Structure 1
Amino acid sequence: MAFFLRRPFAVSTALRQISKPANSARFIHNTHFKPPTTTTTTTGPVSILAKSRQTFQNAFRRTYMQPSYSSQGGNATQKLLYGAAIVGGTILATNMIFNRETREDGGMPHYERSYLNETFMHTGLGVGIIAIAARALHTSGWSYRLMASSPWAVIGLGLVASVGTMYGTLYTSPDNYLMKYGLWTAFNVTQAALLSPLMFMSPALLARAGLYTVGLMGSIAFVGATAKQDKYLYLGGPLLAGVTIVALSGLAPLVLPVTATRTLMWSEKLWLYGGLAVFGGFTLYDVQKILHHARMAQRGLINKDIVNESISLELDFINIFVRMVQILGMRSSNRK
């Protein structure tokens, strides 16, 4: 059942807003009052695709508009150096804060390093499949059809497909190679189908969110890989409780009245920043769990199953990435 709680809720929020006004309950505290103005209405019909795109972008508070850049080449170099400094600083800070006690067994053995590298390779391959499939579905018009359909039907069918393919992958023996990778590919395509409306956002924003997500997960994974054995495995229970609270905060707009603006504001902050912290903790926990499974597989206690290990990291990546997109969208709107 942990999968239900670890799914990103931003896309489902956007789908629920199709049949609602732009100033929905979740974001009413950010809506500025505008006096009515007399405008001339156009006679031509408004594009439904444009409405769907605007509604989805409103789920991330504001439409992201890429600022006009000067033609000077130094601006791009500065931004590249700025991003590299953020990633490097994050790695250094997390290592100094959380990794005061390193391994005392002479470093990571070869079988652990190989197991972890193969898991990272499968995670990157899975994320790549999701990105390529989401782009292909978006260009074929799938995003428009998805957002024009019933939100509850999309959420229900999406959960059934996601959970079905995920558990089918987890409970398939790694010896059954074709079925294992077939179900894993179906799981990734299902995630791509649910996340394809993100392609309505600016490519520059998505690229920055992806870079920051890789930097954050990479720094946390480095801490987990170099820390003492099983140091952070105790985080499983607290993280499960935390993700439950984050999930409930994401469902708050469905049960709270519109007038509870302050409560809705804090529930949204809890979903956004609390979820970022929780899934960062899940990354740390999952890396140490992968190393623990590598030692068990080396002793012959369990079968080596790289695909199952990569699914947990993929879910961490998706949840962190969706929140990064929303944070960057909020920052860009505040600069206007």
Structure 2
Amino acid sequence: MDNNNLNYTYDKVIQVDDASASRKFIANVFLWMFVALAISSIAAYEFGTNESLLRLLINFETGSRTGLGTLVMFSPLAFVLIMSYGMNKLSYPILAVLFICFAALFGMSISYILLMYTASSVLGVFVTASVVFGVMAVAGYTTDQDLTKFGSLMIMGLIGIVIASLVNMFLKSEQLGYIISYIGVAVFVGLTAYDVQKLKRIGASEEYGDATKSKLVLMGALTLYLDFINLFLMLLRIFGRRR
């Protein structure tokens, strides 16, 4: 899912020196992110290793996706859009349910990777992505340097990746695919640090009430989830061993 780094109206956030509130906010963000990753991992494993479930998504005779498979492939994007644009109107419980459903559907949509790559390489890349993500998250949280301009460059890079990926859907160039993946790794590594710093400032802000902050926890978790998943998929394209 290479086309999603969510941008919310964080421009007018007033930063205050509230380290405790910031740590609590970030901790809740990562808790929800880990819950989503666990749900996605379970869904991906179940559908990737259970032939009867996988047949619901893929027609083994033709190699094409079934109607349900096509729906599952595009539905995560719909959930992201609904959550992003409906955050202010949706209640926290509904937003949480949507987030959980998104994580399950996204796990189902990437279950194919267990057919394309060896299980050991998928696990190895997942561990590598986790380490890289963790290092950049700590860097983004602890740095005193303002990463706003850096983040803007990363977002421009993300837009470029989306455009190049769409073009390569028609060109089907393996070389271009590798170039996109290498650039994608750099972009999502940078976005991880930028997004964590942005969320740290949200957590320390007095501008939002508790109810709104609870929703922002979920949206922040969604943002970091997408950063991690895209980093993982980009690394997998480069280093994954195909069957």
- 1:204 paired residue among 102, 106, 120: 120
- 1:244 paired residue among 143, 152, 159: 159
- 1:163 paired residue among 71, 77, 92: 77
Shift of 1:265: 5.2
Give the distance between the partners of 1:250 and 1:152, measured in 2 at CA: 23
User: Is residue 215 from structure 1 mapped to residue 131 from structure 2 by the alignment?
Assistant: yes
Shift of 1:150: 4.3
Shift of 1:324: 2.0
Contact 1:247–1:271 (CA under 8 A) maintained in structure 2: no
Give the distance between the partners of 1:4 and 1:225, measured in 2 at CA: 24
Runs of 4 or more above 4 Å deviation = 149-156
Give the distance between the partners of 1:150 and 1:221, measured in 2 at CA: 38
Describe the shift of the 1:314–1:289 C-alpha distance in structure 2 as closer, same or farther (beyond 3 A). Answer: same
Give the distance between the partners of 1:234 and 1:156, measured in 2 at CA: 38
User: Is residue 183 from structure 1 mapped to residue 92 from structure 2 by the alignment?
Assistant: no
SS in 1 for 2:231: helix
SS in 2 for 1:285: helix
Give the distance between the partners of 1:154 and 1:285, measured in 2 at CA: 36
User: Is residue 284 from structure 1 mapped to residue 186 from structure 2 by the alignment?
Assistant: no
- Asked which structure has the greater CA Rg, the reply is 1
Contact 1:123–1:313 (CA under 8 A) maintained in structure 2: yes
In structure 2, the partner of 1:13 is none
Shift of 1:266: 4.4
Give the distance between the partners of 1:301 and 1:118, measured in 2 at CA: 16
User: Which deviates the most, 130-139 or 231-240?
Assistant: 231-240
User: Which deviates the most, 110-119 or 131-140?
Assistant: 131-140
Shift of 1:289: 1.2
Alignment of 1:62-141 (within 5 A): 109-138=19-48, 139=50, 141=52
User: Which deviates the most, 164-173 or 200-209?
Assistant: 164-173
In structure 1, the partner of 2:142 is 226
Describe the shift of the 1:6–1:177 C-alpha distance in structure 2 as closer, same or farther (beyond 3 A). Answer: closer
The residue identity in structure 1 corresponding to 2:132 is L
Unaligned runs of 5+ in 1: 8-106, 259-263
User: Is residue 6 from structure 1 mapped to residue 4 from structure 2 by the alignment?
Assistant: yes
Shift of 1:151: 5.0
The residue identity in structure 2 corresponding to 1:207 is L
Flag the structure with more relative contact order, 1 or 2, with Cα contacts below 8 A and sequence separation at least 6: 2
Contact 2:58–2:69 (CA under 8 A) maintained in structure 1: no
Give the distance between the partners of 2:113 and 2:2, measured in 1 at CA: 20
When normalised by structure 1's length, the TM-score is 0.58
- 1:142 paired residue among 53, 72, 86: 53
In structure 1, the partner of 2:14 is none
Give the distance between the partners of 1:233 and 1:291, measured in 2 at CA: 13
Shift of 1:329: 2.4
Alignment of 1:248-263 (within 5 A): 248-256=163-171
Q: How many residues align?
A: 224
Shift of 1:207: 1.4
CA-based RMSD of the aligned residues comes to 3.1
When normalised by structure 2's length, the TM-score is 0.79
Shift of 1:161: 1.4
Give the distance between the partners of 2:83 and 2:170, measured in 1 at CA: 34
The residue identity in structure 2 corresponding to 1:182 is V
Give the distance between the partners of 2:41 and 2:82, measured in 1 at CA: 22
Deviations 1:97-146 (A, max 9, x none): xxxxxxxxxx9811111111111111111100100111222325333442
User: Which deviates the most, 265-274 or 281-290?
Assistant: 265-274
Give the distance between the partners of 1:278 and 1:155, measured in 2 at CA: 29
Deviations 1:182-228 (A, max 9, x none): 11111111101211112223221121111101100000011100011
Contact 1:108–1:226 (CA under 8 A) maintained in structure 2: no
Shift of 1:281: 1.2
The residue identity in structure 1 corresponding to 2:223 is S
